Amino acid sequence: MLTGALPAFKSVTEYLSWDHDRLDALLESVRSAVERRDWDAARRYFHDFQGGLDRHIRLEEEILFPRFEQSTGRTDPTAVLRREHGRIRAALDLLARALDQGEGREFRVGLASLLTVLPDHNVKEEQVLYPATDAALSEDECRALTTRLQEA
């Protein structure tokens, strides 16, 4: 569960897109700290980024994707996104190893690997999956799902 006061989200699209933005800002903080060679700060930011992204993926795979599949009868979009989650996790492993070793070059390789999948992945979710999920649910169901995602 996220701590602190969060905005009032009315849809899956609003909440999970907000979370993408939050995670993007954390990743930028990691990158900036690596550029400054502030490895301690980079590791702290990465810890928050990796934990947040792991949580985000878990919410999608355990709660959102099954609800989307149930509501729409479609599994093709979620199958693609699950495969991409695997690629994202592999890139996170590269980044973690590079940060543990204080290796700027290896960090850049891991970051490049992550950025080959993450931006397009987020667009697919924000422009296709999230809105399709919102549209497949009643307003009350949408609010309930959004609340469940926030509280998980």
Domain that holds residue 25: 12-151
- Domain at 45, CATH number: 1.20.120.520
How far is it, in rounded angstroms, from Cα 3 to Cα 21?
Answer: 16
Q: What are phi and psi of 90, to 5 degrees?
A: -65, -40
Question: What is the pLDDT at residue 86?
Answer: 98
Q: Spell out a b/e string for 55-67, using b for 16 or more CB atoms within 10 Å of the CB, else e.
A: ebbebbeeebbeb
What is the number of structural domains in the chain?
A: 1
How far is it, in rounded angstroms, from Cα 126 to Cα 80?
Answer: 14
pLDDT category of residue 5 using cuts at 50, 70 and 90: low
Tokens at residue 48, please?
Answer: 């928050």
Q: 2 lies in a domain?
A: no
Q: For the segment 14-44, what is each residue's pLDDT rounded down to a tens digit?
A: 999 999 999 999 999 999 999 999 999 999 9
Q: For the segment 82-98, what is each residue's pLDDT rounded down to a tens digit?
A: 999 999 999 999 999 99
Contacts of 83 (CB under 8 A, 6+ apart): none
- Segment 53-81 mean pLDDT: 97
Q: 144 lies in a domain?
A: yes
| Mean pLDDT, all residues of the chain | 95
